[in-house]
Amino acid sequence: MTEISRDEIARVLDEIALLLEVRGENPFKTRAYRQGAEIVRDHDADIVALARDNELDGIKGIGKALQEKIHELVTTGKLEFHRKLRDDYPDGFFELFEIEGLGPKKVGALHRELGLDSIDALRKACDDGSVADLSGFGKKTASKLLEAIQRREHFAERYRLDESAAAAEAILDALAGHPATLLARSAGSLRRSRETIGDLDFIAATSQPKELTAFFAGAPFASEVIVHGDTKCSIRLDNGQQADLRAVSMEQFPFALQYFTGSKEHNVALRSRALRQGLSLNEYGFTASDGSAGTAIPEVEDERGIYKALGLDFIPPELRENRGEIEAADSGELPEPIHWENLRGTFHNHTTASDGHASLEEMATAARDLGLCYLGIADHSKASFQANGLDEERLAAQVEAIRGWNREHGDGLWLFAGTEVDILKDGSLDFSDDTLATLDYCVASIHSSFTLDEKEMTRRLVRAMENEHVTMIGHLTGRILLRRDAYAVNHEKLIDCAAETRTIIELNCNPKRFDMDWRWWRRARDKGVLCSINPDAHRPGQLQFLRLGASVAAKGWLRRRDVLNTRGLDEVKEYLDTPKARR
């Protein structure tokens, strides 16, 4: 039996929560399953192994019942409780939840009353009027459901971080330009630097909320108005992405900003903490939780003040995922924040020699203009023929050109000669050790045979890490966000191996990738693994991805000292000159 994965356990728990909800079970029970799923996804240690060995005791949020169910799932590959719940529903039933406007109650009614079991069946039922006749539904609901079905076909539900950031900046500019706006900020998952973004969230301080929501609803970037009230307005942009505005007073602004930045889990934890201090916290402010006049309500001027009132250090938005940040803020142990200005150079970049769109000189100039002190060139190796990978001869010529640049311009920007060498199917490399020894450093990446199973893929990467010339592993899982899944790797083993072999793991901050995923960096850091933040730039402008990279690194709890490219040129030269085993 192939072992069940962490994601699969979480998926089953989520599905149980959904099914219990449809059946109208105790909402707190469904929440317990949903939280269980989150905990399984986020847990630091190898939770599958713990479950197999019945050692789940002491994980907060996983009580006796969930422990037993997860154990059953891992050891038998099935969960009887889940099967029984699921048996009543066909596979297509679950896709109904993907339709905007349909929650557990409505899906339950559609299935119970009309026997609907797929989006296709729902479309037909909306068309023939049977949905509109259902109690609790109506003509308007039916037509909204039809629109939502169409929209789902046309647009992805999530968007890239860089594209979302650009859209948000334009909207913020428009909001800031309105005379009724006192302050405007974006919030939500964008502010938390998640790898992909759902809706865009905006908070504006104003004394004329109605004017502002009306402006938002009528703005040129609003291709459709979804909801429009006195203080809240949701619109859809041309690309299908939803944008929400909340208009609040100046006094409410920090609370609204905090609240709508989330994450939901972070906020729930923060609210429980407030309650223990006799305070109720919502998006408008603090109140006495028992309504009494005796409780002192803290004065708050900005978001920082909210955390201060709760006895916490300020928690940067990136860390607000309820993964231990509140405890760390309580004990003064939050990581020192890493900023993009701390980055002095970067290592994984391409030129026209392989599949880049700019010459060595153009890339170097862009790096210097960005204020970097050094730039590593790592073009593809020959096995990546689709990317015009370099053979030994062309590589040697490029190395010579780089040395030449340094002789001429080395006082302004230093170039490192490297390669992004292919890790072949068996874990060997596309260049010999002798060839690699002529370079300053080496990024090793997988670009082929994506379908190997987890064991083989992990072994392949381990073998690459064991090579003394491999400085760092590029895009560890090969994922292309919103398009291609990560290949199967055992992160725990690879992190351990990177620590042992002194191999750096790249944080590929090309917004298509953000790979390795931010959820693993804290563990890597604690094992002593060094990170390099690399844009995988194929054009000069893509060096700017370093800004996003620093935010994602902060999200992964990385500190400056955990990141190679926060070091100055001399330190980096010394690092690369030191044999790997002694680094």
Partner DNA sequence: GCCGTTTTCGGCCCGACTGTTTTCAGTCG
Identify which of residues 106 and 463 has a Cβ nearer to DNA in the complex.
106
Binding window for DNA (CB under 7 A); candidates: 65-73, 353-361, 443-451, 477-485: 65-73
Q: Are 27 and 37 in contact (CB under 8 A)?
A: no
107 binds DNA (CB under 7 A): yes
Binding window for DNA (CB under 7 A); candidates: 130-138, 172-180, 396-404, 548-556: 130-138
The 3 state secondary structure assigned to 162-189 is HHHHHHHHHHHHHHHCCCCEEEEEECHH
Q: Are 34 and 13 in contact (CB under 8 A)?
A: yes
Identify which of residues 141 and 365 has a Cβ nearer to DNA in the complex.
141
Binding window for DNA (CB under 7 A); candidates: 140-148, 164-172, 509-517, 553-561: 140-148
Cβ neighbours of residue 265 closer than 8 Å, sequence gap 6 or more:
38, 321, 322
Q: Are 375 and 358 in contact (CB under 8 A)?
A: no
Q: Are 203 and 257 in contact (CB under 8 A)?
A: yes
How near is the Cβ of 60 to DNA at its closest, in Å?
4
Number of residues that bind DNA (CB under 7 A): 62
Cβ neighbours of residue 505 closer than 8 Å, sequence gap 6 or more:
472, 473, 476, 494, 495, 498, 516, 524, 529, 530, 531, 532
Identify residues 258-287 at the interface with DNA (CB under 7 A): 260, 264, 267-268, 271-272, 275-276, 278, 280, 282-284
Candidates 136, 220, 291, 579: give the one binding DNA (CB under 7 A): 136
- Give dist(CA 318, CA 102) in Å, integer: 30
Binding window for DNA (CB under 7 A); candidates: 135-143, 353-361, 366-374, 459-467: 135-143
Candidates 101, 115, 311, 568: give the one binding DNA (CB under 7 A): 101
84 binds DNA (CB under 7 A): no
Identify which of residues 146 and 268 has a Cβ nearer to DNA in the complex.
268
Q: Which of 544, 539, 489, 535 is nearest to 512 (CA)?
A: 535
339 binds DNA (CB under 7 A): no
Q: Which of 251, 249, 187, 245 is nearest to 218 (CA)?
A: 245
129 binds DNA (CB under 7 A): no
How near is the Cβ of 99 to DNA at its closest, in Å?
7
Give the other-Cβ count within 10 Å of 477's Cβ: 21
Q: Helices then strands (H, E): number in the chain? A: 24, 17
Q: Which of 256, 178, 360, 356 is nearest to 244 (CA)?
A: 256
- Give dist(CA 465, CA 463) in Å, integer: 5
100 binds DNA (CB under 7 A): yes
Identify which of residues 83 and 527 has a Cβ nearer to DNA in the complex.
83
- Give dist(CA 431, CA 381) in Å, integer: 8
Identify residues 187-216 at the interface with DNA (CB under 7 A): 188, 198-199, 201, 213
Site string for DNA, 31-50 (x = CB under 7 A): xxx--x--------------
67 binds DNA (CB under 7 A): yes
List phi, psi (to 5°) of 102: -105, 120
How near is the Cβ of 471 to DNA at its closest, in Å?
42
Binding window for DNA (CB under 7 A); candidates: 94-102, 173-181, 315-323, 403-411: 94-102
Helices 64-76 and 6-22, axial angle in degrees (round to 10): 120
Identify which of residues 118 and 289 has a Cβ nearer to DNA in the complex.
289
Identify which of residues 6 and 403 has a Cβ nearer to DNA in the complex.
6
> CB-based burial of residue 20 (10 Å sphere; 0-12 exposed, 13-18 middle, 19+ buried)?
buried
138 binds DNA (CB under 7 A): yes
Binding window for DNA (CB under 7 A); candidates: 26-34, 409-417, 451-459, 524-532: 26-34
- How many angstroms separate the first and last alpha carbons of the chain? 41
Which chain residues interact with DNA by CB under 7 A? 26, 28-29, 31-33, 36, 59-67, 100-107, 132, 135-142, 144, 188, 198-199, 201, 213, 227-232, 242, 244, 260, 264, 267-268, 271-272, 275-276, 278, 280, 282-284, 289-290
